Amino acid sequence: MTEQKISGDVIAQENEKRAAAQAADYAALGDRLARNGVDIDTITTKVAEFAVAVPSWGVGTGGTRFARFPGAGEPRHIFDKLDDCSVIHQLTRATPTVSLHIPWDKADAKELKAKGDALGLGFDAMNSNTFSDAPGQAHSYKFGSLSHVDAATRAQAVEHNLECIEIGRALGSKALTVWIGDGSNFPGQSHFTRQFERYLASLAEIYKALPDDWRLFTEHKMYEPAFYSTVVQDWGTNYLIANTLGEKAYCLVDLGHHAPNTNIEMIVARLIQFGKLGGFHFNDSKYGDDDLDAGSVEPYRLFLVFNELVDAERRNAGGFHPAHMIDQSHNVTDPIESLISSANEIRRAYAQALLVDRSALDLYQDSNDALMATETLKRAYRTDVEPILAEARLRTGGAIDPVATYRASGYRARVASERPAIAGGSGGIV
Ligand SMILES: [Mn+2]
């Protein structure tokens, strides 16, 4: 019996208030889609099957390098974090797994597994951390980790990643995500080639320890914390890494890790074409790695990314099974509400992309009809798919309106009385 943090009665009462309107809206949208030969239930079933992992670090309030303003009832440790993650999944039915971060979430693996099982949650990709120093570690990562000039520091960073794999094995995880803060702050500070050679050698050692049924995801980021150069700065370098390491190595695309205006959907298409798209860290951004809620600033771009994913799904692109994860920092909202909303936005983009008339699009592309080609995408994007998203939640035991239901449940006030506020603390942006 799964432990439920929100009472089933609250969900039922809240759904009851909205059931008639939902049924009417779903029927109306179903009629409209049927006129175009689309069966709404087929779309709803696919949406209901679409899952995205939540990051354990996302349920704590984030911050910037200037300050962090803690919220009420913040999780004190990984077990509280898992409780909060289970609330998101209970209401959305879209987030059955949690991505852990070591050492922030370090705890006895058996206890973690038991807690996950009790809450009905699984464990997604493990995330290592060699971008900050853990208390008591022998060698500092101030000047890098896997690419550090000192062999002992590199060995320590490799060892940490091997430990993450071991913990992940005990939890049923099947992937390791490596993002490093290595780079340089000044021209001339680091030798680009030697630094990248050291990185590749370190990563090869980690790759060797990877279980056969695991995947290794490397994440590129153009800048920050190193401001002049980063070792894995873009998808080109990321592709070189995945290609050099072998078939279990894939590129992870974090939407916020690119320069503004970068055509990310095209990067996604290239990585799919060459069988190296590992998955995503979903978030949104305006200027840099803002880690804003998915779809909050550029929902059309999120749709265009999903347009590529649905296209690949339809034509059974080789090696295509991307991992979907959220990576966000919630600075001014209740993190649970932001993650609920983001999971919905990600599913929304997926549902809209499923509505693209692909045979029409093929014809317009092949006849150089630019206007109708782009209009075909817009037509799908303009469809209000909210009744489909709500129906997918309702049919799987979730909430028609998950944020309203969460607020009605009083969960935040309840945990606030049990969890004292933590001053400072780490927000965590990776
Ligand atoms: Mn990320």
Both tokens of 91, joined, read: 């209401």
Distance 384 CA to ligand 1 centre (A): 29
Question: What's at 317, amino acid-wise?
Answer: A
Let me know: does 198 contact 154? Beta carbons within 8 Å: yes
Integer Cα distance of 229 and 184 in angstroms: 5
Distance 151 CA to ligand 1 centre (A): 27
What local confidence, expressed as pLDDT, does residue 402 receive?
98
Distance 365 CA to ligand 1 centre (A): 34
Distance 89 CA to ligand 1 centre (A): 21
For residue 200, what are the contacts with CB-CB under 8 A and spacing of at least 6?
A: 241, 244, 245
Helices (H), 287-427: 299-314, 335-354, 358-366, 370-381, 386-395, 402-409, 411-418
What local confidence, expressed as pLDDT, does residue 424 receive?
54
pLDDT beyond 60 at 238: yes
Distance 190 CA to ligand 1 centre (A): 24
Distance 366 CA to ligand 1 centre (A): 37
Distance 23 CA to ligand 1 centre (A): 38
For residue 238, what are the contacts with CB-CB under 8 A and spacing of at least 6?
A: 218, 219, 220, 232, 251, 252
Q: Phi/psi zone of residue 275: left (φ > 0), alpha (ψ -120 to 50 degrees), beta? A: left
Q: How confident is the model at residue 235 (pLDDT cuts 50, 70, 90)?
A: very high
Q: Read out DSSP for 360-395?
A: HHHHHHHTT-HHHHHHHHHHHHTS--HHHHHHHHHH
The domain spans of the chain are 8-418
- Using a 10 angstrom Cβ sphere, with 0-12 exposed, 13-18 middle and 19 or more buried, the burial of residue 151 is exposed
At residue 203, φ and ψ (nearest 5 deg) are -65, -30
Distance 90 CA to ligand 1 centre (A): 24
Question: Percent of the chain at pLDDT above 90?
Answer: 96
Mean pLDDT of 236-247: 98
Q: How far apart are the first and last CA of the chain?
A: 34
Integer Cα distance of 199 and 178 in angstroms: 11
Let me know: does 85 contact 54? Beta carbons within 8 Å: yes
Distance 324 CA to ligand 1 centre (A): 11
Integer Cα distance of 123 and 114 in angstroms: 12
Mean pLDDT of the chain: 96
Q: Which residue has the tokens 């390491």?
A: 245
Q: Which CATH number fits domain 8-418: 3.40.50.300, 3.20.20.150, 3.40.50.150, 3.40.50.11540?
A: 3.20.20.150
Give the three-state DSSP class for 278: strand
pLDDT beyond 60 at 250: yes
pLDDT beyond 70 at 425: no
pTM for the model: 0.96
pLDDT beyond 80 at 354: yes
pLDDT beyond 60 at 429: no
Distance 219 CA to ligand 1 centre (A): 7
**Length reported for the chain:** 430
Beta bridge partners of 374: none
Mean pLDDT of 189-200: 98
Distance 201 CA to ligand 1 centre (A): 23
Let me know: does 235 contact 276? Beta carbons within 8 Å: no
Reference 205, options 251, 168, 151; nearest CA is 151
Reference 183, options 204, 203, 164, 199; nearest CA is 199
Angle, vertex CA 103, rays to CA 101 and CA 108, nearest 5: 95
pLDDT beyond 60 at 64: yes
